[in-house]
Structure 1
Amino acid sequence: MTSTTPLQAVIVGAGPAGIRAAQTLAAHGLRPVLIDEAARGGGQVYRRPPAHFQRPPRALYGSQAARATALHRTLDGLQAQIDYQSDSLVWNAEGGQLDLLHGPTQTTRTLRYGPLIVASGATDRVLPVPGWTLPGVYTLGAAQVALKFQGCAIGRNVVLMGTGPLLYLVACQYARCAGTRVAAVLDTARRADQLAAVPALLAEPAILARGLHCVAWLRAHGVPIHRGIRPVRVQGDARVSAVVWSDGAQQHRLACDAIGLGHGLRSETQLADLLDCRFVWSPAEHAHLPAHDAAGRSSVPGVYLAGDGAGIMGADAAECAGERAALALLADHGRAVDGARARQLERRLGQLRRVGQALARAFPLPADWAAQAPDALLLCRCENITAGQLRACARETGADEMNRLKALTRIGMGRCQGRICALAGAEILAQATGRPVEQVGRLRGQAPIKPIPLHLQTQQVADGTDAAAPPRDE
C-alpha cells in the first residue's frame, strides 16, 4: 500500500551522495531538508567555487568536469523542490533533533528530524612526520580546496607526499597550475603493491585509465615520482624549506616551499557516532566504520548512511549510495519504489566496493609507521601531545584502549576532537601495547563535531522551540 502521509526527511551533506538522495526524494513527492556546511553544494570532490569565479570547470575538475557540472545543475534545479540550507554546520545530534550553526550570522538553532540520511563525506588521513606542523605543510585535501575554491596554490615549489589516488590527482592539478612547480611526488606505497592491484582494477577500466593517464602525464611533464619511500622529516625555521626522505638505501633532501601531505582519506563518522550507530572494524580501510546494509540502513531505525562517510568508495559510488539510501527510506515508510532500480544500484555499489578494496591494497598505510615514529613526534597539535607521551602512558598505567588513553593524556580533547590525531594515536597505542590496532578501539564521538563559538545567538525554528545559548550580560 502506498502511503500519502507527509514525510519530513533530512539529509546532512550536499556532496554527490546528498544531492542524489535529495533528487530521489523530491522525485517521489517529498520535500527534504538538505543541510550543508559549505556555501555552495558539491562536496569536496566537486567543490564549487564562489559565483564570481571565472575559471572554467575543466580547469577545476579535469576529466570529471562533466560530472561535476551535471551534479551542480541538478542541485540548482532542485531549489524549488527542497529546503536547501547551506552554510549550516550540524555540530550535535541528540533527542531526535540536530543542533546547527549558521555560518554568516553565527546563529544556532535546532531542527527536528524524522528519517535522516547522513552523507557526511570524508577528510584527509594524516600520519604525522617530524616537522609537519611547520607553516607551509598542508593536507592534500586542503591543497586541493585552495586550488578549486579560490584558484590559489599552497606554494611555488611544492612536494606532494603520502599515498593514495588523491596524491596523484592533486599532483596533476598543481602541475597544470601556472606559476607552480611540483618538485616531486613521494609515495609511501610500493610499485609492487600497485601492480598487484591492476587485475582487480580492470573491472573498472575508466577508473584505471584515469589513474594511469595521471601518472603518465606527470612523467611526460618532468615530475619525478618516487615510490616506496619513507618520510624522515620536514625542515624549516619560520616556514618549510625542504623535506628529507629515504628510499631504503639512503636519505635524500629536496628543497621546497610547501608540502601537501596525506595517506588517503578517512570517513567523517562523528555524526553517525552521536546518533548511536553501531561501528565495525573494516580491515580494508584500517578503521572503525558505522555498520550498514547494502541499501544504506544503519543499525539505528530511520538513520541511513551514504557516500564516503560510510566507507571510502569515491564520488561515483557516492551518487549511487545516495540514491539507494533514499529509495530505502521511501520503501521503509510505505512509498512505492522501483525495486529493479534498487537492485541495479546495489549491484553497482558491489562492483565499486571491490574496486575500492583493490585501491586500498594498492595504496596501503605504511606498516612500520608507528615503529618508526620517534618519541618526540608531535601527534596531537591541539593538546601538544607526542608519541613518546602516549607510549609512556601505556607503559606506566597499562592503558590499552583509546578512550582510556584520552582520559589520561587529553589526546583528542582539543579543537579537532580527534579528527586528525585519533587514528595516528591508535597506531601508536597498538604498537606500544603489542595489540592489533582494531583491538585498541576508537575515540567515541563528542559534540561539538567541529569548533563553535562560545557565545551564540539563537533563532526560533519552525516548531516554535528555541535553541539553547549562554545568557548575555545586559
Structure 2
Amino acid sequence: MSDVASPRIVIVGAGPAGIRAAATLVDAGFHPIVIDEGQRAGGQIYRRPPAGFTRTPQQLYGSEAAKARALHSLFDRLVEERRLTHRASSSVIAAHQGMLHVLAEHGVQMIGYDRLILATGASDRIAPVPGWQNAGVYSLGAAQIALKAQGVALGRRIVLMGSGPLLTLVGAQLVKAGADVVAVLDTSPWRQQLRGLWDLAARPAVALRGLVMRARLGGRYHAGVTLERIEANGSGVVVVRWRDAGERQHLTSCDMVGMGWHLRAETHLADLAGCTFAYDEQWRQWLPKADQVGRAGNGVYLAGDGVRLLGADGAEIAGRLAAAACLADLGHPMPSVGAELLKLKRLKRFARGLAIAFPWPEAMARALPGDAIVCRCENVTAGSIRESVERGGGDANRVKSLSRVGMGRCQGRYCQLAAVELVAAKAGCNPGAVGRFRGQAPVRPAPVGAFLQEG
C-alpha cells in the first residue's frame, strides 16, 4: 500500500490491546504509529524488565508467561521488520483537533492522526485511608512494578490492603519472591465475595488460580476488615490499625503499605479527544462510551481497560475489535469478529462477578474523618471537600475549584472517586449526579522547557 494513500493511524499504548490492534492493522497493509510510555512494549500486566535481568518469564508472569512471550515477540518482530513505527518512552500529554502532543526525550512533538486508537489501560483504584499520605505508602501497582522491573520489594515488613484480584496477586508474588508480607487486608467480607461466584464461574480456570494464590497467603489474609489508620514517624509508616470481621482491633507493625481496590480506567486522553462519558454503577466510575467494537466517534476507537475493565485477555480481544472497526470505517474488509464478541460476553460476565465480589468501599470513603487527607497532591482534607459542598453545591468541578481537590500532578487519578463519594454523601445524591472532573492538558506532568522545544 502506498504511503501517500495511507491514512495516519496512531495507537496510544503498547500493552495487550495496543499490540493486537497494531498487528491487525499491519496484517491489512497499514503502517501504524504506536506511542507508549514504556521503553519496551508489554504494558503493565506484561511489563518487561531491563536488559540483563535474570528472572525468567515464568517467574515474572507465572501462568501468563506464554501469553507475555507471544505478545513481546510479535511486537518486536513488527518493529524489526519496520512494519510499524514505535515511539517508545513517549507520553501523549494532549489531544486536540486531530493532533497529539507527545512528550519525549527531546521535547514536545506534534503528531497528526486520521484515526486514533486509545489503548491507555488502567491504574490502581485508590480509596483514602487516614495516614495514607505518609512516606512508605504505595499503590499495589507500584509494588508490582518494583518487583517486575527491578526484582525488589519496597519494604522489609509489608502490609497490603484493599480488595480485588490484584491484592491477592501482588501478595502472592511478593511472598513467592521471599518478601516478608505480614498481612493482606481485604475490605470485602466473605459473604460479599460469595455473591460474585456465579459470574466468576464464567472463567473457572482463572477463578481457581485466584483461589490457589489466596491459599498460598495462608493466615496473612483477612477478609471483611475495617481499616482505621496508617501511623507513621519521621522515617515513614510504622503501624496499621485495623479491625477484623469480628471487630477485634489489631496493630500491625510495618515499614511499607501497598493499597488498591481493583482498577480505574485511564480516561484523560479519551476526554481530550472528545469522547462522551457515562457513569457506570457497576464500577462506580465514569467511563467513556463506545460501541461493542470500540467506536467512540470522530475517528477515535477505544480498546482495553481504558474503556472496559476486562483484564489482559479482554484487552487483546478489544484491540483486535477496535482495529477491525477502524478498517471497516476506512472502507476495507472487516475481519470476522463473531468469535471475539462471544468471548467478550463471557469476560464481561466474569468482570461483573469481580465487581460484585470485591466492591469499591463507598461507605468507607463517605465516612472519612474531617482531618483525613483525600488529595495527597494538594493536601486537601475530607472536611475541606464537605465545606466546599456547603458553599458551592454538589457539582464535582465546582468543588474542585473551591477546594483544589484533583488539581495536583495526578489530576484526580487517585482522589477523584473518593472525593465524588464525599460530595454525593454531603449533597444527598448519587455520584453519577455529581459529575466528573474535566480533563485538562497536559495529562501528565511536563517540564516547561519541553514546550520551548516543541516542534
TM-score (norm 1): 0.92
Q: 2:270 aligns with which of 272, 277, 284?
A: 272
Aligned match of 2:204:
205
| Counterpart Cα distance in 2 of 1:412 and 1:173 | 32
Aligned match of 2:229:
233
| SS of alignment partner, residue 294 of structure 1 | coil
| Counterpart Cα distance in 2 of 1:314 and 1:343 | 20
| Counterpart Cα distance in 1 of 2:370 and 2:292 | 43
Structure 1 stretches of 4+ moved >3 Å: none
Aligned match of 1:364:
359
Q: 1:100 aligns with which of 90, 99, 102?
A: 102
Q: For residue 338 of structure 1, report the CA deviation from its aligned partner.
A: 2.6
| Counterpart Cα distance in 2 of 1:368 and 1:285 | 15
Q: Does 1:297 align with 2:291?
A: no
Aligned match of 1:350:
345
Q: For residue 333 of structure 1, report the CA deviation from its aligned partner.
A: 0.5
Determine if contact 1:244/1:251 at 8 Å carries over to the other structure: yes
Q: For residue 343 of structure 1, report the CA deviation from its aligned partner.
A: 1.4
Determine if contact 2:15/2:42 at 8 Å carries over to the other structure: yes
| Counterpart Cα distance in 2 of 1:125 and 1:295 | 25
Q: For residue 92 of structure 1, report the CA deviation from its aligned partner.
A: 0.2
| Counterpart Cα distance in 2 of 1:255 and 1:408 | 37
Gaps spanning 5+ residues in structure 2: where? none
Q: For residue 311 of structure 1, report the CA deviation from its aligned partner.
A: 2.2
Aligned match of 1:116:
116
Q: For residue 187 of structure 1, report the CA deviation from its aligned partner.
A: 0.1
Gaps spanning 5+ residues in structure 1: where? 460-465, 468-474
1:370-385 paired onto structure 2 within 5 Å: 370-385=365-380
Residue identity matched to 2:114: G
Aligned match of 1:470:
none
| SS of alignment partner, residue 94 of structure 2 | strand
- 1:132-176 deviation digits (Å, cap 9, x = unpaired): 111111100000000001111111211110001000000000001
Determine if contact 1:383/1:414 at 8 Å carries over to the other structure: yes
| Counterpart Cα distance in 2 of 1:36 and 1:141 | 18
Q: Does 1:176 align with 2:176?
A: yes
Q: For residue 337 of structure 1, report the CA deviation from its aligned partner.
A: 2.6
| Counterpart Cα distance in 2 of 1:17 and 1:117 | 10
Q: For residue 236 of structure 1, report the CA deviation from its aligned partner.
A: 1.6
Determine if contact 1:106/1:457 at 8 Å carries over to the other structure: no
| SS of alignment partner, residue 368 of structure 1 | helix
| Counterpart Cα distance in 1 of 2:44 and 2:417 | 21
| Counterpart Cα distance in 2 of 1:367 and 1:384 | 21
| SS of alignment partner, residue 413 of structure 2 | coil
Determine if contact 1:378/1:385 at 8 Å carries over to the other structure: yes
Q: For residue 371 of structure 1, report the CA deviation from its aligned partner.
A: 3.4
Q: 1:404 aligns with which of 387, 394, 398?
A: 398
Residue identity matched to 1:154: L
Q: For residue 7 of structure 1, report the CA deviation from its aligned partner.
A: 2.3
Q: For residue 409 of structure 1, report the CA deviation from its aligned partner.
A: 1.3
1:39-118 paired onto structure 2 within 5 Å: 39-79=39-79, 80-102=82-104, 105-118=105-118
Q: For residue 450 of structure 1, report the CA deviation from its aligned partner.
A: 0.8
Aligned match of 2:386:
391
| Counterpart Cα distance in 2 of 1:252 and 1:233 | 11
Q: Does 1:262 align with 2:250?
A: no
| Counterpart Cα distance in 2 of 1:5 and 1:107 | 30
| Counterpart Cα distance in 1 of 2:404 and 2:110 | 30
| SS of alignment partner, residue 123 of structure 1 | strand
| Counterpart Cα distance in 1 of 2:248 and 2:208 | 33
Aligned match of 2:239:
242
Q: Which segment drifts farther, 344-353 or 167-176?
A: 344-353
| Counterpart Cα distance in 1 of 2:426 and 2:335 | 52
Residue identity matched to 1:212: L
Q: For residue 295 of structure 1, report the CA deviation from its aligned partner.
A: 0.5
| Counterpart Cα distance in 1 of 2:416 and 2:215 | 35
Q: Does 1:329 align with 2:326?
A: yes
Q: For residue 458 of structure 1, report the CA deviation from its aligned partner.
A: 6.1
Q: For residue 218 of structure 1, report the CA deviation from its aligned partner.
A: 1.9
Determine if contact 2:159/2:181 at 8 Å carries over to the other structure: yes
| Counterpart Cα distance in 2 of 1:264 and 1:319 | 19
- 1:24-52 deviation digits (Å, cap 9, x = unpaired): 00011000000001111111011111122
Residue identity matched to 2:263: L
| Counterpart Cα distance in 2 of 1:406 and 1:60 | 40
Residue identity matched to 1:228: G
| Counterpart Cα distance in 2 of 1:112 and 1:371 | 43
Determine if contact 1:378/1:387 at 8 Å carries over to the other structure: yes
Q: For residue 62 of structure 1, report the CA deviation from its aligned partner.
A: 1.2
Q: For residue 264 of structure 1, report the CA deviation from its aligned partner.
A: 1.1
Aligned match of 1:472:
none
Q: Does 1:314 align with 2:320?
A: no
RMSD: 1.3
Q: Which segment drifts farther, 49-58 or 304-313?
A: 49-58
Aligned match of 2:448:
454
Q: For residue 202 of structure 1, report the CA deviation from its aligned partner.
A: 1.5
| Counterpart Cα distance in 1 of 2:257 and 2:15 | 27
Q: For residue 283 of structure 1, report the CA deviation from its aligned partner.
A: 1.1
| SS of alignment partner, residue 295 of structure 2 | coil
Determine if contact 2:199/2:352 at 8 Å carries over to the other structure: no
Determine if contact 1:109/1:458 at 8 Å carries over to the other structure: no
Identity of aligned residues (%): 47
Determine if contact 2:94/2:441 at 8 Å carries over to the other structure: yes
Determine if contact 1:46/1:68 at 8 Å carries over to the other structure: yes
Q: Which segment drifts farther, 198-207 or 384-393?
A: 198-207
Aligned match of 1:440:
434
| SS of alignment partner, residue 455 of structure 1 | helix
| SS of alignment partner, residue 331 of structure 1 | helix
| SS of alignment partner, residue 182 of structure 2 | strand
Q: Does 1:158 align with 2:155?
A: no
Q: 2:412 aligns with which of 395, 403, 418?
A: 418
